[in-house]
Amino acid sequence: MKIYSYFLMMLPLALALPASGTVLVSSPTNGQTVSSTVQFSATANTTTCSKGVASMGIYVDNKLEYVVDGIKLNTSLPLASGKHNVAVQEWDYCGGATLTPMQLNVASATQDSIAVTLPLSGSTVSSPTAFLATASSSCAKGVAATGVYVDNNLMYQGPGSKLSAQVALAAGSHTTVVQAWDNCGGVTKQQVNLTVGGAASKTIYNVQSLSGWNQWGELAPLDNICNAPCNNQVNWSMNQNNSSVSLSGNSTQFNLGGVTPYSDVLFSNPVLGQGNTQGLNDAQHLILPAIHNFTLDTEVYVTNLSVTQSLELDVNWYANGIGMEWGTQCNHLGDQSWDIWDNVHAHWFSTGVACNLNNAAWNHVVIQVQREPNNDLLYQTITVNGVVNNINTTVPPFSVPQVWYGMTVNFQMDGNVKQSPYTLYADNMNFTYW
């Protein structure tokens, strides 16, 4: 944070210096009734300071709760239920300030809920079927367990609020129910109707801990490939078998640094086909041509969101001269949304889904994609911390050399304007295909 903008943000509302500017708040709106986590989006300008806007902030009941440098603000804040006086304010480089006041009414916390990521209701699946869900509860003691009923029979039950299970299902139509039990005696459930057919799904567990990871730098502005040491233009490291910041006791630490702004590091593991180190090289070419559905399910710990330009998670498929990259990134310091990759035109475009990751905390991210019968790529859903976002966007594939054969899972870190060093951790990274 700039020293001058830091000084400005310390001024209370009553001492704000006169200025002529605008703070345009697009979300929320004055008088709106909102949920307990409020999404704030705003932009600012000034007409009296030639140096422009230094920073923006959010006051809640006269207490400064959030500050960011620049002319744009996009963040979410938790607010207690009830009425609140809120002000979104800008400070310019000349000592002036302008604010937009509003009143918000925060609704009482919702009751128990369960968000099912997989499978999608009404879909045709294989057996065993992957079930992924996250439950929340208003019970102070939290969620005790989650489970799966198939045609009124309990087929799986596990502890905690997160469900990740493979359930064997007979061919045909089934009514399944994903259910959660809290520690106060409450129950919540969601029905998922399925038709079972096709080949069995397979899961490669804990990809973050596997051998075979490749890694290289990408130098801005043209993303030129750079192999270490890269003259310190971009540097990186990857440390597996981490237990200090971990959910399973076996996370992987990823680090990025260097001196060239906006440079990146790409970590890639060939989970199927050429280069695979786990005995899945598919030498007879039997696996890859037959699979069409892919789910990448991982936990990511963000250590410093303020300098994390973007976090990218990719699934790639290559065979018969056809290439497919389901590129998905949280473009946190860019358009502040989840972006997906256009293979043909080689550029990112926004899904319109805001990227709101938790800082200094674990984030559960699930990417579900599909290879269509004509080899188009379908982006189905992006689920973050239990919130399912339907993307349902199709893009064409691109051409690759005929000798390319396999699938990779990618984890990429992007540098910001200062190439500020930062660290991410990945854990429980599971890749399912069928």
Q: Which one is the CATH code of 203-433: 3.40.50.720, 2.60.120.260, 2.40.110.10, 2.60.40.3950?
A: 2.60.120.260
Region 73-100: what's the mean pLDDT? 89
Q: Is 379 exposed, middle or buried (0-12, 13-18, 19+ CB in 10 A)?
A: buried
Structure tokens at 356: 């709101």
- Most confident range, picked from 139-148, 178-187, 262-271, 378-387: 262-271
The one-letter amino acid code at 219 reads L
* Rounded Cα distance, 223 and 141, in Å: 48
- Percent of the chain having pLDDT more than 90? 65
Report how far apart, in Å, the C-alpha atoms of 419 and of each of 150, 220, 246, 332, 413 are: 51, 11, 26, 15, 11
- Predicted confidence at residue 10, as pLDDT, reads 36
* Parallel/antiparallel/unpaired status of strands 251-258 and 398-399: unpaired
pLDDT for 111 beyond 70: no
Give the total residue count for the chain. Answer: 434
Q: Where are the domains of the chain?
A: 3-106, 113-198, 203-433
Q: How does the average pLDDT of the chain come out, rounded?
A: 89
- Predicted confidence at residue 11, as pLDDT, reads 39
DSSP-assigned letter for residue 4: H
Check for a shared fold between 3-106 and 113-198.
yes
Do 154 and 128 meet the contact criterion of CB atoms below 8 Å apart?
no
Q: Which one is the CATH code of 113-198: 1.10.8.60, 2.115.10.20, 2.60.40.10, 1.10.260.40?
A: 2.60.40.10
Tell me the per-residue pLDDT of 202-258, one tens digit each, with 9 for 90 and over.
Answer: 899 999 999 999 999 999 998 899 998 898 999 999 999 999 999 999 999 999 999
Do 225 and 216 meet the contact criterion of CB atoms below 8 Å apart?
yes
Structure tokens at 255: 């680090």
What's domain 3-106's superfamily in CATH? Immunoglobulins (2.60.40.10)
- pLDDT band for position 18 (50/70/90)? low
Backbone angles phi, psi at 13, to 5 degrees: -55, -40
- Percent of the chain having pLDDT more than 70? 93
pLDDT for 282 beyond 60: yes
- Least confident range from 124-133, 264-273, 316-325: namely 124-133
In 3D, which of 74, 66, 152 has the Cα closest to residue 338? 74
Region 283-296: what's the mean pLDDT? 92
- Most confident range, picked from 40-49, 157-166, 406-415: 406-415
Report the helix count and the strand count for the chain, using DSSP H and E: 1, 33
pTM, two decimals, is 0.62
Structure tokens at 91: 């400070």
Region 2-12: what's the mean pLDDT? 34
